[in-house]
Amino acid sequence: MKNVPGSAAGPAASEQPTERIPSAERREQILRAATAVFGERGYAQATTDRVAQAAGISQPYVVRMFGSKENLFLEVLDRALGRIMESFRAVLADPDDSPVGPRLGRAYVNLIEDRGILLCLLQAFMLGHDETIGRKARQGFLAIYRLLRDDVGLDADDARRFLAEGMLINTLLAVRMTDDYATDVCAQEILESAFSSKLDLVLDVARRDSGADAGRPAASGRA
Amino acid sequence: MKNVPGSAAGPAASEQPTERIPSAERREQILRAATAVFGERGYAQATTDRVAQAAGISQPYVVRMFGSKENLFLEVLDRALGRIMESFRAVLADPDDSPVGPRLGRAYVNLIEDRGILLCLLQAFMLGHDETIGRKARQGFLAIYRLLRDDVGLDADDARRFLAEGMLINTLLAVRMTDDYATDVCAQEILESAFSSKLDLVLDVARRDSGADAGRPAASGRA
DNA sequence: GTCTATACAAAGATAGAC
DNA sequence: GTCTATCTTTGTATAGAC
């Protein structure tokens, strides 16, 4: 039972044999799906087939459009880095007078709404041993560091501390610490400490994403 | 060209068809090899065959001894957590009067000599989506947190900060930031900031491990 | 622009000999 | 205690039709 074009199972006869949409749009759709899948399972455990299912298209088409799984991941990584930098720059541009640190932190956590962005970053960092991906991952890390140093104006210690908190956040998300929020006081404590005002958002998103294991189409609107 | 028992390629006719050693010892040997491989490639990308090569035995034997790859990883994770806790407890037991924080930090970084221990931990954290491994990973994380809170006596904020620095360290190791140490000032700066007095050790270990890609036997002594 | 069919490689696991 | 041979599944990628 793979992804069926216009077969039964559906509540009537409506699903066209996959809409024919412009490749640019399709690209973005696939990237979005791939980000969720790579973020959740990691590069190696993510399959092009799961990405395809999440995007609602066939596996060969995913490969066709991006050339290879590795290439797809590289584009996903690029996109994720872009979102992060963009998000930080938006904070810097905002004429708010409260301290930047916390504002950047909140902006970072807000990115969890964009499913998989943060996790893909961490997944990429885990691939340092890979010739191609590793290099790009290091570049990405350093690009963020430079932004903190040069554009935000943090000193080396503050930049390190900021990144450290970011890595902790990534880790808590990756290990799904929210699963233990309700049953373990320590889990609760560290989550509150790490996310503070953004904890509700994190818990909401975790609830939303759980069950909807990135893989098959996210229950599209039209039923 | 797999791992050959007593074939050619060797500098003479010496290598016995793999020594017959007691299973307890072999177990430890495999766990050590597996820690290096899992740490470097991650759970999914690590193959039982690479572990076997690193341990100098056949692939089926690895599976035979641990039942499955998943089980092997779980034991590796257990062992890694044990080493960390043990190492922290040793610091607490040490009648040194300098502040505990930095001493714990140095003890943590010292663990990189035990190849893969730190990385396996992070790799496990990345597997939160996995029913079995994810649960154990969360437990491990929380066990460390409790040790910091209860045994070390840190408050929630300090414990969080300590863990955050630890996650940054893990990430820097995983992404192999040391590869850029010589060529990128930012890489140099953040490595110095994150590892401070232990940077030399880190660079040494990186040099030692590079090239010796965990996979084939680590150039055993007798040539 | 998108699919079906399929070739091909990799990897985990099992059987059974030594 | 340890290996060789091998089954089986899964997953990437290609060919070619619609």
Q: What CATH number does residue A75 fall under?
A: 1.10.357.10
Cβ burial of A95 (10 Å; 0-12, 13-18, 19+) is exposed
- Residue contact A149–B186, C-beta within 8 A: yes
The answer to whether residue B29 scores a pLDDT higher than 70 is yes
Q: Say if residue B1's pLDDT is above 60.
A: no
Mean pLDDT of B73-86: 98
User: B214 pLDDT exceeds 80?
Assistant: yes
Number of domains, chain B: 1
Task: Check whether residue A157 and residue A195 sit in a common domain.
Answer: no
- Does B39 have pLDDT greater than 80? yes
Average pLDDT over residues A95-120: 97
* Percent of chain A scoring above 90 in pLDDT: 85
Confidence class for position A205, pLDDT limits 50, 70, 90: very high
Residues of B in contact with A112 (CB under 8 A): none
CA distances from A192 to A176, A201, B19, B74, B194 (A): 14, 12, 53, 29, 25
Q: Using the predicted structure, report yes or no on whether residue A2 has a pLDDT greater than 70.
A: no
| Coil, helix or strand at residue A13 | coil
From CA B2, how far away is CA B186, in angstroms rounded? 41
Which of B40, B128, B164 is opposite residue A174, by nearest beta carbon? Answer: B128
| Residue A49 shares a structural domain with residue A144 | yes
Q: Which of A10-14, A145-149, A213-217 has the lowest average pLDDT?
A: A10-14
* pLDDT at residue A19 in the model: 84
Residue B2 forms part of a structural domain = no
Residue ranges making up the domain that contains B118: 23-209
Rounded to whole angstroms, the Cα distance separating B102 from A217 reads 48
For residue B26, the Cα-to-chain-centroid distance in whole angstroms is: 18
Residue of B nearest to A119 (CA): B126
Instruction: Answer whether residue A13 shows pLDDT above 90.
Output: no
Within 10 angstroms of residue A91's Cβ, the number of other Cβ atoms is 17
- What per-residue confidence (pLDDT) applies to A122? 98
- Determine the average pLDDT of the residues in B150-160: 98
With an 8 Å Cβ cutoff, is A128 touching chain B?
yes
**Predicted local confidence at residue B80, as pLDDT:** 98
Q: What is the pLDDT of residue B216?
A: 66
Closest nucleotide to A71: CA versus each C1': D12
Mean pLDDT of B119-146: 98
Closest chain A residue to the Cα of B39, Cα to Cα: A126
Is the pLDDT score of A159 beyond 50?
Answer: yes
The 3-class SS string of chain B reads CCCCCCCCCCCCCCCCCCCCCCHHHHHHHHHHHHHHHHHHHHHHHCCHHHHHHHHCCCHHHHHHHHCCHHHHHHHHHHHHHHHHHHHHHHHHHCCCCCCHHHHHHHHHHHHHHCCCHHHHHHHHHCCCCCHHHHHHHHHHHHHHHHHHHHHHCCCHHHHHHHHHHHHHHHHHHHCCHHHHCCCCHHHHHHHHHHHHHHHHHHHHHHHHHCCCCECECCCCCCC
Answer yes or no: is B5 within a domain. no
How close are the terminal C-alpha atoms of chain B, in Å?
Answer: 19
The Cα diameter of chain B in Å comes to 62
SS3 category, B145: helix
| pLDDT, mean over chain B | 91
According to DSSP, the residues that pair with B214 across neighbouring strands are B216
Residues 6+ apart with CB under 8 A from B78: B136
Domain assignment present for B103: yes
With both helix axes pointing from N to C terminus, report the angle between A100-110 and A156-174 in degrees, rounded to the nearest 10.
30
Instruction: Report the gap between the CA of B74 and the closest CA in chain A (Å).
Output: 15
For a pLDDT cut of 70, what percent of chain A falls above it? 89
A41 pLDDT higher than 90? yes
How far apart are the C-alpha atoms of A108 and A146, rounded to whole Å?
Answer: 16
What does pLDDT average to over chain A? Answer: 91
Q: Does A167 touch chain B (CB under 8 A)?
A: yes
Report the percentage of chain B scoring pLDDT > 90. 85
Which token pair is B170? 């893990």
- Please report the pLDDT score of residue B70 as a whole number: 98
Nearest residue, CA→C1' of D2: B61
Q: Is residue A50 part of a domain?
A: yes
Q: Do B134 and B73 form a contact (C-beta atoms < 8 A)?
A: no
Provide the residue type at B25 as one letter: E
> What confidence tens digit (pLDDT) does each residue in A165-174 have?
999 999 999 9
pLDDT tens digit sequence for B173-189: 999 999 999 999 999 99
Residue B223: what pLDDT? 35
* A137 chain-B contacts, CB cut-off 8 A: 175
- Answer yes or no: is B16 within a domain: no
- The pLDDT-based confidence of A8 (bands split at 50, 70, 90) is very low
Identify whether residues A146 and A89 lie together within a single domain. yes
Indicate if A125 and A204 belong to the same structural domain. Answer: no
Mean pLDDT of B42-52: 98
The pLDDT score that the predictor gives to residue A212 is 79
- pLDDT of B129 strictly over 60: yes
Q: Check whether residue A141 and residue A190 sit in a common domain.
A: no
∠B109-B111-B140 over CA atoms, to 5°?
A: 100
DSSP track, B58-102: -HHHHHHHHSSHHHHHHHHHHHHHHHHHHHHHHHHHS---S-HHH
State how far residue B45 is from chain A, nearest Cα, in angstroms.
Answer: 6
Instruction: Check CB contact of B187 with chain A, cutoff 8 Å.
Output: yes
Q: What is the pLDDT of residue A223?
A: 35
A179: chain B residues, CB-CB within 8 Å: 128, 134, 138
Q: Are residues A139 and A45 in the same domain?
A: yes
In a domain, B219, yes or no: no
Q: Which nucleotides of C are covered by protein (CB under 7 A)?
A: 1-6, 10-16
- What integer pLDDT is reported at residue B19 of this predicted model? 84
Q: Smallest Cβ distance to B160: which of A137, A157, A190?
A: A190
What average pLDDT score do residues A186-209 get? 97
If one compares A176 and B6, the residue with the highest pLDDT of the two is A176
Residue B84: CA count within 13 A, CB half-sphere: 28
Determine, yes or no, domain membership for A219.
no
pLDDT surpassing 90 at residue A42: yes
CA–CA dist A48, A37 (Å, integer): 9
In a domain, B216, yes or no: no
